[in-house]
Amino acid sequence: MTTPLIDPFARAITYLRVSVTDRCDFRCVYCMSENMTFLPKKELLTLEELDRMCSTFVKLGVEKLRITGGEPLVRRGIMTFFNAMGRHLESGALKELTLTTNGSQLARFADDLYAAGVRRVNLSLDTLDEAKFAEVTRWGRLPQVMKGIDAAQRAGLRIKINAVALKGFNEDELFEMTEWCAARDMDLTWIEVMPMGDIGNESRIGQYWSLKDLRQSLAERYTLTDLAERTGGPARYVRLEETGQKIGFITPLTHNFCESCNRVRLTCTGELFMCLGQEDVADLRPALRNFPTMDAPLEEAIRAAIALKPKGHDFDYSRQTVDGRVSRHMSHTGG
C-alpha cells in the first residue's frame, strides 16, 4: 500500500480541488476584474498532464476530486478529462468526482457529465433577479443558467446552490432563495466573501455580510436544527424543519474551518496551494514534465508540498481592514 498523504498536523489529505482553466465566461465582481489578463494557453497543463497529475494524487490517497476553474466547462475538450477520471471511480480508488460551475454550459454537458460518473454539481448563483444577476456577473445571463439547472436535474445530477453573501445586494433575497431551492429540492450553501485578488473598484469590506447575521435572520422565520453532517468540505449545515432542506454556511472569516482541513488546490498551471488563504505554493510542473515516464519524482514532489501545509489561514475583517488577504484571483486558484 502507498503511504497516504498526511500533513504536519496529522490531517489526512483526501480531497483535491483542480482548476482546469483560469478562463471564465462571467466576470463576477467578487472574483475578478472585468478586463482580466488570462494566462497564455501554453502555460496551462494539457488534459493529458492533468490526467497524470490527478491520477498520481488518487494513487496517494485522494478520494474526492472536484473540478473547478474559472469555468471548467469552457475548456476545450474537457469531457475527455472527465471521462478519463471516470476510470478511477470504476476501480473504486476515487469515491467522488464533482464539479463547481456557473451553470452557463450545463445545458450542453449535463448528460455527458452524468455518463462520466459525476453525480453532484455545485452551482454558483447569488441572485434570482435577472438584472442583479447581470450586474454581479457582468457578462452572465440568468435564463441561460436556469436552462442549465433544468438540464442537470433531468440528467440526474444533484444540484447544490452556492451563494456568496453580499451586503446590500442579496440580503433581501434570503427567504426567496431559500424557498426556491426548497421547491426544486436543491440544497443551498451561503459563503462569506473572501479577500482574493484585485477586483478594481469593489470594496471587500463593503461587500461583507456576516453569516452569523444571515443565520439569525433565517432563525426568525424557520426552525434551525444543527447537523453533524460533513461532506468533506468546509460547510457547517443546518436543517430547516419547515422545508426539510439543508442549508450550509461557509465561514472563513467569522469561524474558520482549518482544524479539519483535508484538501489542497491544484491550479491549471500545476501549482499546488496547500491553503486557500496563504501564499505558500509548490510548483509540481518540473516533476511532471522533466520525468514523463517516471512516477517517483512527482510523488516525492507532492509529498514534499503536503509537508509544508500550514495549520490555517489568516483572513480577518474584524478590524475593518482586509487582513490576511492574498494577491491571486480565486479563478486562478480554483473556486
181 is in an annotated binding site: no
Is 289 annotated as belonging to a binding site? no
- The answer to whether 232 is a known ligand-binding residue is no
Any known ligand binding at 238? no
24: annotated binding-site residue?
A: yes
First-to-final CA distance of the chain? 32
Q: Is 236 annotated as belonging to a binding site? A: no
Contact 293, 330 (CB under 8 A): no
Does residue 270 have a known ligand-binding role?
A: no
Vertex 213: Cα angle to 176 and 258 (nearest 5): 110
Give rounded-to-5 percent helix, strand, coil for the chain. 35, 20, 45
Q: Is 160 annotated to bind ligand?
A: yes
262: its cell numbers: 483535508
CA nearest neighbour of 141 among 151, 150, 131: 131
Report which of 214, 211, 241, 212 is spatially closest to residue 226, judged by C-alpha positions. Answer: 241
Annotated ligand binding at 28? The verdict is: yes
Query: Does the annotation flag 258 for ligand binding?
Result: yes
Task: Give Cβ neighbours of residue 233 (< 8 Å, ≥ 6 apart).
Answer: 15, 250, 263
215 annotated to bind ligand: no
**Is residue 120 marked as binding?**
no
Q: Flag whether 208 is marked binding.
A: no
Question: Any binding-site annotation on 221?
Answer: no
Q: What is the distance between the alpha carbons of residues 284 and 25, in angstroms, rounded to a whole number?
A: 28
For residue 26, the one-letter residue type is F
Q: Is 264 annotated as a binding residue?
A: yes
Who's near 176: CB < 8 A, 6+ residues apart? 128
Q: Which residues are annotated as a binding site for S-adenosyl-L-methionine?
A: 30, 70, 124, 194
Which positions make up the binding site?
A: 17, 24, 28, 30-31, 66, 70, 100, 124, 160, 194, 258, 261, 263-265, 275
Which residues participate in the annotated binding site for [4Fe-4S] cluster? 24, 28, 31, 258, 261, 275
Instruction: Please report, in range form, the residues annotated as the binding site for GTP.
Output: 17, 66, 100, 160, 263-265
